[in-house]
Amino acid sequence: MNIMERNPHEIGKLTTFYISTCERESERERVRRERVRERVREREWERQRERERERGRERDRQTDRQTYRQTDKERETEREKEREIQTDRQREAERDR
């Protein structure tokens, strides 16, 4: 004899228990899915921040390159002027002899 035949009101208790168990399981599953979504969002935000940091670093590198090029051009210009001055001094020294 099973429990339902001995105690008919148990079916209501078991049904309630089963439904509440299913509800708890579905709530757990909903919470789990929400946590997974949140982790995915956080990873995507972190990737976005990393991309922005990389873009910033690349901009800095480009700026540095431009600055170095400009500095190199300025140095080369100064060297040319210095050479011209040296050449002029040598010519003057030769003339004075």
Mean pLDDT for back-to-back runs of 10 residues, the chain (97 residues):
64 79 90 96 96 94 86 89 92 82
Specify the pTM: 0.47
pLDDT of residue 6: 65
- Contact between residue 40 and residue 48 where contact means Cβ atoms under 8 Å apart: no
